[in-house]
Amino acid sequence: MAFKDPLTIAGVTLDSRLLLGTAGYPSPALLSEAIEASGSQLLTLGLKRTVQSGDNGFVELALQTARARGAHLLPNTAGCHTASEAVQLACMARELYGTAWVKLEVIGDAHTLQPDPFELLEAARSLVNLGFTVLPYCTEDLVLCRRLLDAGCAVLMPWGAPIGSGQGLLNLPGLRTLRERLPEATLIIDAGLGAPSQAAQALELGFDAVLLNSAVSQARNPAAMAGAFAEAVRAGRAAFRAGLMAPQDFARASTPVSGHAFLLGEAAR
């Protein structure tokens, strides 16, 4: 039996725990199909890359699709390397799209696309003071995450693996610790997922949602893959709510026989 299990971010209720990016699709039509199949109600939009590529068709489609389905847009500051650059871009996005929500990205390493913790925290503080609802892309570093929450961030979005790598959840102990130490925070795995099973694993660990892009946009059939991720997210969340059994160091018979009478072989006749 299906259950209602909405996700609430800054007073906005979402029925879907799958957030979807809108970059890298072969065509606007395939993007539209993937959004529909995913059931996502929060779509990210990379303003800087869109402006640089001049691909306004994808932007307009994302806007139209989001509004038609009652979904929300989440502009991001992808491609920014300093706090000042990210703040400027976020302010531009607020003017263009009429939303104060921003996925904050401040990249510190061009090879791994790992966020710069110092610039990220500075940008987060500035944007919160400017009235933004800030969802920062970060690592699983517990101290940084606490500082971001103290700065007023509505959500934390730690990576599973480097952006676009499809490697899944590389640091399971670190992610488990983050979830355990920040039990009240809304935590969304962002970046590095490549398969629906990895999304299910994130929800099973107790993370509140996942955000992905390349795993769907680069699939042979983006719409079918988006649907598969949607089912995996629902399954992972249901498993977490049901309560996973605790791992055991040794085998434990699922049907114990000690202490019960039973018959063997010919003696049973």
The catalytically annotated residue of 17, 48, 103, 179 is 103
Cα torsion for 220, 61, 11, 90, to the nearest 10°? 100
Asked whether the beta carbons of 2 and 30 are under 8 A apart, the reply is no
State the Cα–Cα distance between residues 214 and 216, nearest whole angstrom. Answer: 5
103 has catalytic annotation: yes
List Cα–Cα distances, 31 to 28, 89, 145, 162, 192, in angstroms: 5, 24, 32, 23, 20
Locate 50 and state its tokens.
């869109």
State the Cα–Cα distance between residues 122 and 149, nearest whole angstrom. Answer: 13
Asked whether the beta carbons of 105 and 85 are under 8 A apart, the reply is no
Locate 28 and state its tokens.
């606007």
Asked whether the beta carbons of 115 and 121 are under 8 A apart, the reply is no
Alpha helix (H) residue ranges in the chain: 28-38, 47-53, 56-68, 83-97, 117-129, 142-150, 172-181, 196-204, 214-217, 222-242
Asked whether the beta carbons of 267 and 261 are under 8 A apart, the reply is no
Pairing label, strands 42-46, 72-76: parallel
The backbone torsions φ and ψ at residue 143, rounded to the nearest 5 degrees and listed phi first, read -65, -45
Looking at the annotation, which residues are catalytic?
103
